[in-house]
Structure 1
Amino acid sequence: DWTLMFLTRQYRVTPAAHYWDGEGLFADKFNQTSIPGLYAVGETASTGVHGANRLASNSLLECLVFGAQMSLLQVAEEKLSTTVAGEDSGERVAKSIGVWEIVAIEKLRAELPNLVWQSAGICRGEALLVDAIDRIEIWRREFASLPLSQTLLNLQPEKTIDYLPADKYTSQILRNWGEVGNLLDIGYLILKSAAFRTESRGGHYRLDYPLTEPDWCRHTLIQNDRWYKSAVKS
């Protein structure tokens, strides 16, 4: 029964994010990123057409305009590999994943969303952001030090790893590992970017910087470990 009686009953509600504007790989009007041959389109790209808030139906720019741009690209043909999928072409090693690694990955997956929500949710402030950045930096180091991470992050193209037992449970563990690694990176970028922007604008609200500042009417750009403002367009 989904009948909601707002006049006679109380309901608990909480804010939630539907999407975020302007985030993603920086791309030009032809969807080209700073890496030759790598293109970004849709909500994976930051093309500059969105500001702090997205106007109604403005997302059609991402779907139609930039999607159409992709169809106009003249992509050079690459020489296809002659290696058959599943064919042994190099060293093959069998490994297992330690129980303590599985527990560590699951713990990070459970704690990370709460950390980012509490520190970079609706209201943000320097103290919470700094503490969260310190915490996530520790987690990233711990994650990178896992034997599983050491193996996969340093895996050479000619080498194959078979994790045993070869079942759905092991596949799910490997999937969780990849997801946690991505979330740690994304969470770190969100927290650092929120701390970098010392104003409030759109969906970004700082308790310690509640006003919108004219000098911040720009995009935040990130390259490696460098955070900077986009240039002012005349």
Structure 2
Amino acid sequence: QMKKNKSDYVYLDATKIKDKFSQRFPTIYKNCFTLGINPEKEYIPVAPAAHYTMGGIKTDTWGQTNLTNLYACGECTSTGVHGANRLASNSLLEGLVFGNRIARKIKKNITLSSINQLEKLKLSYNTHQEKYKEYSPEELKKELQTLMWNKVGIIRNFSDLKKALQKISEWKYIFKSEFKTVEDFELANLIILADLITNSALQREESRGAHYREDFPDRDDINWKKHIVY
């Protein structure tokens, strides 16, 4: 509807639940009034946003990754408990359950070695490389975010996904440079994730959960009732 109207938002009508709105959504209610909107009498302008990552680091039912003694929990993981679309607040339960299970697993497998006896690791990345091409991590990050929103957003198709992959591939020149700042490493991680997400969306020739392909609008349980793992 936003594309059809060439608008940055659509309207949410919450006037029918005006007696319950302030109690059920106190923060939103307060923010609306701060912006000069009375949700009990007026429509609320809303727009989609990236809210939750469906998928991530593959773990077992105890939060163990494929690296021994490395555990992961929460939104960064792909535990499979949400299916293709998370129901509201279920991430809280996931964090509670898997966080507890990870703690129990670590406690059970803990060694007698003191953490103070462990040698400090000196981490490095491309330490002998020089700047291959000048770039601004901040500006490139903004461009990447815009690309992912426009080409790998809510409504996906083959053409847009291929264009996104091409652009992401062009940005991989940054890996020929030495990373010195947090922003450098963050940008590198974002480019890797963008590549994985876009490739997965291109491979999955169906629509399922929050993943919608306008060129493959139907769900295909025969071929795609499965995870994509890299």
- Displacement of 1:56 after TM fit? 3.7
Letter of the structure 2 residue corresponding to residue 127 of structure 1: S
CA 1:10 to 1:39, structure 2 compared with 1: closer, same or farther past 3 Å? closer
Using the alignment, how far apart are the partners of 1:132 and 1:115 within structure 2?
7
- Displacement of 1:7 after TM fit? 10
**Residue of structure 1 aligned with 2:48, choices 2, 15, 37:** 15
**Residue of structure 1 aligned with 2:226, choices 212, 215, 218:** 218
Cα deviations by residue, 1:57-107 (Å, 9 ceiling, x for unpaired): 432431221111112112343562356x9xxx9xxxxx9x97x73x44333
SS in 2 for 1:218: coil
SS in 2 for 1:3: coil
Letter of the structure 2 residue corresponding to residue 116 of structure 1: M
Match of 1:208 in 2: 215
Cα deviations by residue, 1:144-193 (Å, 9 ceiling, x for unpaired): 122x24xx6xxxxxxxxxxxxxxxxxxxxx12111111111111111111
Using the alignment, how far apart are the partners of 1:63 and 1:46 within structure 2?
12
Letter of the structure 2 residue corresponding to residue 33 of structure 1: T
**Residue of structure 2 aligned with 1:75, choices 72, 95, 109:** 109
Alignment of 1:1-234 (within 5 A): 1-4=34-37, 13-21=46-54, 23-73=55-105, 74-77=108-111, 78=113, 80-81=117-118, 101=134, 103-140=135-172, 142-146=173-177, 148-149=178-179, 174-215=181-222, 216-222=224-230
Letter of the structure 2 residue corresponding to residue 42 of structure 1: G
Using the alignment, how far apart are the partners of 2:182 and 2:207 within structure 1?
36
Cα deviations by residue, 1:125-161 (Å, 9 ceiling, x for unpaired): 0011011101101101x10122x24xx6xxxxxxxxx
Cα-Cα RMSD: 3.0
- The percent of aligned pairs where both chains have the same amino acid is 38
Letter of the structure 1 residue corresponding to residue 225 of structure 2: C
> Relative contact order (C-alpha < 8 Å, sep 6+): which is higher?
1
SS in 2 for 1:121: coil
CA 1:217 to 1:82, structure 2 compared with 1: closer, same or farther past 3 Å? closer
Query: Number of residues paired by the alignment?
Result: 185
Going by fraction, where is strand more abundant, 1 or 2? 1
Using the alignment, how far apart are the partners of 2:42 and 2:95 within structure 1?
41
- Displacement of 1:220 after TM fit? 1.9
Choose 103-112 or 177-186, whichever is displaced more: 103-112
CA 1:47 to 1:132, structure 2 compared with 1: closer, same or farther past 3 Å? same
Match of 1:225 in 2: none
- With normalisation by structure 2, the TM-score equals 0.70
